[in-house]
Structure 1
Amino acid sequence: MRINHRQVEAFQAMMQVGSVSDAAARLGITQPAASRLLRDLEHNLRLDLFERSGNRLHPTPAAYTLFAEVERSFSGLQRIAAVADNLREKRARELRVAAMPALTNDLLPRFTGRFLKANEGLHVALYGVITPVILDWMVNNQCDLGFIESSTPTFSLRTIKIPAVPRVAVLYRGHRLAEKEVIHITDFNGEDFIALPAESVSMRRIRAVMNAHGVSIRSRAESPLSEIVCGMVASGLGVSVSDPFTARTGAHRDLVVRPLLPMIPFSFTAVLPSNDVPLPSARDYIAGVIREVLAVRDAASPQPQGKAEDV
């Protein structure tokens, strides 16, 4: 039994409109072609679907039974197509972004709000998670766009480097260094320090600059989250070095933020799935983040032409 989609379409059209000529017009074919499709369907099914009276066809009981099944099948196909359309539309209107917590403390929430105001109809899901989780989500297509700390292996993901910004010194109000307009790394010699984990990219960079300038600190506490580090600094426990985005949140009223020399760069990278075409909204989002970062860099740099410390 070999039937094809076109034969079924001809049968459905004939049952709906009642004449071969009208069915042919609906399908955009000639009347003889429509008649041939119907005869072939009857032959392949080995069923008499129509009684012929002159130039007219009259459906048999078998035709009505078959038509009911055809209608259910076509309705199912239409539902599948409608679901697919809805999924495509939702995919185009939704952007899933995962970023390291240093970016979701302040930079990305503020930017995302402005981005959505300029993009009516778009829905953004923003997650603040650590880099290994971001990479896992991206590889498994659970996210459309990720932001991770630079120097992290990205497997097969596509990457876009975001311009680096200078890290800042964070102090508690009343600290002896709070009166200084700019902090040099040597000012931290002998100070109680709130650190990021020793194995982190950020702490390795900070330590390299300290070692290059003979700076010795007393590590009093550590946390992988810069917001927690800044909170402990604000409590009066010690000083630290932070990314400028977390430091500027204003969440810590007792936190004093100062430019830091030599400049220690804070850099991160946008990652995109390797096996998919980036959503236009993802490309626009990255471009907006780059503009935002450049503005922060220009405002935060203690020396406009300053050279970053080679670490």
Structure 2
Amino acid sequence: MRLRQIEVFYAIMSTGSLRRAAEVLHVSQPAASKVLRYAEQSLGFALFERTGGRLVPTREALIMLPHVNTIFEKVSDLKRLTENLRYARDGHAISIGCVPSLGLSVVPRVIQRYHATHPGNELTIDTLHGPEIVSRILNHDLDLGIVFGTYEKQGLTASHIAEVPLVLIDQNCTKGPVALEDIDPARYIGLSENDPTARLLDMAWEEAGLSAVPVVRVRTHYMAAELVRLGGGCAIVDGLTALHHPGLPPPLPLKPPLGMACTVLFRADYALSHISQDILTLLKEEIKRDLAALPTL
């Protein structure tokens, strides 16, 4: 089948009629019918049965549909790729994805500093979770990703920029460092099991011979911190979240200390642009400033 024939077949399957398919493709109904007839002739079997003025898919058409769906997913990916290459690769634009904790603390200051000295450059920022950031970098939707944890994936370069300490925030505890066994499991607010911090903590609990099943699990450090602020329990979060979330008790270090890598991700087949390099320099400066401001750590 030629691509145009596949388009007509896909449009009919999607809309349920030849008339609506022709409208979607911006062609006349006779023209769409002609393409369909040629497709069936080249295939040697019917794709639709004409019943009461309606087109009913044949068994062969239903078998073909998943494969055609895959083709159009690839076409959609290609379209998005060409749009990204057209509008975002001219040397004066950058798109960044960052995890929510950094999007609510360090990254806005980085962007503000950069934009103050480069007002003509276009910056796009998305707050996403780590796996989404990886997927969008590989799909050319993002230039840079800023995440917690490490990501080993083909086609991706990961650059470690800082080690961010994990801290306990607890309205009922004022002195640190705090050992895991001293944390009340009945009040413990945990992170989603897919979060790299949660995986690190699970290993730490296990090494300590403990088992902590959180009373509540949340997807972001920010939400865990907000629940602590409201008196919902205690949580272990990254130090940057603890520093910038208003109304929290002072963050307390853990015993033994635990830290989470802050990592910048980008495509392995691209050299960092000068904009990306400038952003990366500012990011390191801002994280270093925040880590120095963490009390008692």
Q: Shorter-chain TM-score: what band?
A: 0.5 to 0.7
Structure 2 residue corresponding to 1:196, chosen from 191, 197, 202: 191
* SS of residue paired to 2:170: strand
Distance 1:261 1:125 in 2: 39
* SS of residue paired to 1:121: coil
1:240 and 2:235 matched: yes
TM-aligned CA deviation for residue 93 of structure 1: 2.0
Distance 1:118 1:255 in 2: 36
Q: Note closer, same or farther for the CA distance 1:263–1:165 as it changes in structure 2 (3 Å cut).
A: same
Q: Note closer, same or farther for the CA distance 1:91–1:228 as it changes in structure 2 (3 Å cut).
A: same
Q: Note closer, same or farther for the CA distance 1:158–1:190 as it changes in structure 2 (3 Å cut).
A: closer
Distance 2:266 2:213 in 1: 40
1:271 and 2:262 matched: no
User: Would the aligned equivalents of 1:164 and 1:266 in 2 still touch at CA under 8 Å?
Assistant: yes
In terms of mean alpha carbon deviation, does 146-155 or 134-143 score higher? 146-155
Q: Note closer, same or farther for the CA distance 1:224–1:88 as it changes in structure 2 (3 Å cut).
A: closer
Distance 1:136 1:89 in 2: 17
Which residue is 1:101 aligned to?
100
* SS of residue paired to 2:275: helix
Q: Which runs of 5+ in 1 are unaligned?
A: 1-86, 304-311
* SS of residue paired to 2:91: helix
TM-aligned CA deviation for residue 89 of structure 1: 9.5
Matched letter for residue 125 of structure 1? T
Bigger radius of gyration = 1
Distance 1:256 1:218 in 2: 24
Which residue is 1:132 aligned to?
131
Give me the identity figure in percent.
17
TM-aligned CA deviation for residue 180 of structure 1: 1.6
User: Would the aligned equivalents of 2:167 and 2:253 in 1 still touch at CA under 8 Å?
Assistant: yes
Distance 1:152 1:270 in 2: 10
Matched letter for residue 242 of structure 1? V
1:187 and 2:173 matched: no
Which residue is 1:149 aligned to?
148
**Number of residue pairs the alignment of both structures matches:** 212
Distance 1:221 1:128 in 2: 23
Which residue is 2:216 aligned to?
221
TM-aligned CA deviation for residue 214 of structure 1: 4.2
Matched letter for residue 139 of structure 2? N
TM-aligned CA deviation for residue 90 of structure 1: 7.5
1:250 and 2:249 matched: no
Distance 2:154 2:199 in 1: 22
TM-aligned CA deviation for residue 256 of structure 1: 4.0
TM-aligned CA deviation for residue 88 of structure 1: 8.2
* SS of residue paired to 2:285: helix
Matched letter for residue 167 of structure 1? L
Show the 5 A alignment for 1:268-307: 268-300=262-294, 302=296
Distance 2:272 2:162 in 1: 20
User: Would the aligned equivalents of 2:222 and 2:245 in 1 still touch at CA under 8 Å?
Assistant: no
Which residue is 2:166 aligned to?
167
Which residue is 1:120 aligned to?
119
Q: What is the CA deviation profile of residues 65-109 of structure 1, one whole-angstrom value per residue up to 9, with x for unaligned ones?
A: xxxxxxxxxxxxxxxxxxxxxx68983221110011121111111
Q: What root-mean-square deviation, in Å, do the aligned CA atoms of Structure 1 and Structure 2 show?
A: 2.4
TM-score (normalised: structure 2)? 0.64
TM-score (normalised: structure 1)? 0.61
